[in-house]
Structure 1
């Protein structure tokens, strides 16, 4: 039996094999842009609330512990909720809502909260997609997006037809951010303009896919310090990130200022989150703090149901176990 290489060796292998040129464009984000980040992330927070993802059409979006004042102060109405854990094998959910105050059509996709999400989320296999020529995306992400795709796109098309002057905003955190990336490409392929705000997204596809998304306008991929999720799947497995990256360098539970977000460019860039070391379970605090960074609430802020928090620590370890297993398998295949 071929021994499994330690994760430290795997990490060194990644740096050695991927010396592709990167471009660094360090700069502070404008005040207005930081305001947008603080505002639209609250829709990602609202997607963790069961009251919003199981609501009837016309429901006004709410957050039980006042963690989304931007959303609650707006004149909002849910158009459609996406299949929840009771309806789909994949346990993927979210909502499409109208924000009349800010004249926006918002698609918000919830992050992962269950073992079912984890099973589909991190298969690490690249598969073909018709989103663009030569593009491949992670199989699990494509499976999850496909589970809600038809309903989401239909609702967005109807909303655009009825509100032609509204902008389309697509948001997500964690798993929701990865699916939001696929959703944005799908919406744009249909000839619509869409702005994407992804918080803590994993790498979604290959270099061709990342380049295709990067060539489009309106992408804001936000990472935070040592968050391990954006480091997955590994670059050595054929994955690349979209550009630019907005890397929050501020520690947990602080107010983020404009000079604490670095703007980095390049499909493979080791100067931001990706260069902060191998993904570790000890660093998941940085992943859970995205919502707190902007709305100052605790990790368990918006409970889907009593006793169920937005994230399960066991889920975090399962992701890294999947990484270790898949990474080792990938290296063994390479040796053959």
Structure 2
């Protein structure tokens, strides 16, 4: 299974324990903890070869958006994931799979920073992204955006969420900003308004919630300019989970020109709970959180998040 491939390929078996800190100053609210756990179930399910009903919801595709058929896949970059629609929460979720094959690890290793160019995204000058991650996301971006566009047209007012673990977390960061930029947060045109009101020449724009991203064990993906751009666009809506001593979030050092985006939620120590999860600094780099522990690469902590083994399918 993919968990073993991580360890065998990289030859990392050490487990480093984090030091407990004062829990009275760090606990997050239960609703935030529940969201972190809930969206990890999507991220974990992305490792499955097939997932007919992610988190009990509808799997959607490009050709038949309301029928369960398959997940999106690019065989060249080995980039997979799925798009699910939750009609109870009124949201569309894009989940990206993490590393499972040799191609994925080659993508992980392409760490040179290149100009951040992606369909529909308008970053400021000087924004750079990880070569491998950006190449992988761009290989499926058009397909994902096409499916989401159709879903928003059919379901106006639905919000958007991206999620992923490990490599999937990096791809989720790229997907999140693509969703936010291609489908602005303010309003979506309701194509059903005419039928609903029987007024043939009237249009309505329906407000939707801001796009959110939930990443887990995500390595650094952007340079400081790119990371700042994400932070400015998302604010508190970028959630970056880190489990105890997981070394992947810091495996690409800042000395190579990288910087994290999103607010880190450091779950340390175990067991996972709202009381053992700290909300870290808003700029993405908090020396009192997981960055306080030297990276050991892929360790056992990387393979479990919020009490769930990565790869567990909720389908």
User: Normalising TM by the smaller chain, what interval?
Assistant: 0.7 to 0.9
Q: Are 2:35 and 1:36 equivalent residues in the alignment?
A: yes
Tell me if 1:289 matches 2:304: yes
Counterparts in 2 of 1:285 and 1:182: CA distance versus 1, 3 Å: same
Between Structure 1 and Structure 2, the one with more strand by share is: 2
* Structure 1: tracts of 5 or more residues without a match: 1-25, 53-58, 62-70, 304-336
Residue of structure 2 in register with 1:248 after alignment: 267
2:60 equivalent to 1:78? yes
* Residue 230 (structure 2) aligns with: 213
Cα distance 1:204–1:267, how it changes in 2: closer, same or farther (>3 A)? same
Aligned counterpart in structure 1 of residue 127 of structure 2, from 117, 132, 135: 135
Partner in structure 1 of residue 149 of structure 2: 157
Root-mean-square deviation (CA, aligned residues, Å) is 2.1
Aligned position for 1:15: none
Residue 119 in structure 1 maps to residue 99 in structure 2 = no
Corresponding residue to 2:166 among 174, 183, 199: 174
Could you tell me which residue of structure 2 aligns to residue 146 of structure 1? Answer: 138
- Cα distance between partner residues in 1 of 2:262 and 2:38: 21
Alignment check: 8 A CA contact 1:112 1:118 kept:
yes
Note if contact 1:88-1:147 (Cα within 8 Å) is conserved in structure 2: no
Deviation of 1:214 (Å): 1.0
Which string of whole-angstrom CA distances, capped at 9 and with x for unpartnered residues, describes residues 230-288 of structure 1?
0031100000001321111023xx3x22121111113432211112013345xx10000
TM-score (norm 2): 0.74
Measured in 1, the distance between the counterparts of 2:109 and 2:44 equals 22
Cα offset for 1:205?
0.6
> Alpha-carbon deviation of 1:223?
0.7
Which residue of 1 is the match for residue 279 of structure 2?
263
2:5 match: none
Counterpart among 91, 105, 109 of residue 78 in structure 2? 91
Larger RCO: 1 or 2 (CA < 8 Å, sep 6+): 2
1:299–1:145 CA distance, 2 compared to 1 (3 A): closer
Unaligned runs of 5+ in 2: 1-24, 63-69, 186-209
Q: Which residue of 2 aligns with 1:18?
A: none
Q: Give the drift of 1:104.
A: 1.3
Residues 41, 313 of structure 2: 8 Å contact kept: no
Other-structure match for 2:50 = 51
Deviations 1:6-40 (A, max 9, x none): xxxxxxxxxxxxxxxxxxxx632111111111111
Residues 264 and 280 in structure 2, CA contact (< 8 A), matched pair in contact too: yes
Deviation at 1:300, TM superposition (A): 6.0
Secondary structure of 1:51's aligned partner: coil
Does the 8 A contact of 2:45 with 2:311 survive in 1?
A: no
Change (3 A) 1:30 1:48: same
Corresponding position of 1:230: 249
In 2, distance between residues paired with 1:257 and 1:138? 32
**Structure 1: distance between partners of 2:35 and 2:150:** 25
* 1:60 matches 2:53: yes
More helix by share: 1
Secondary structure of the corresponding residue to residue 93 of structure 2: strand
The alignment of Structure 1 onto Structure 2 pairs a total of residues equal to: 251
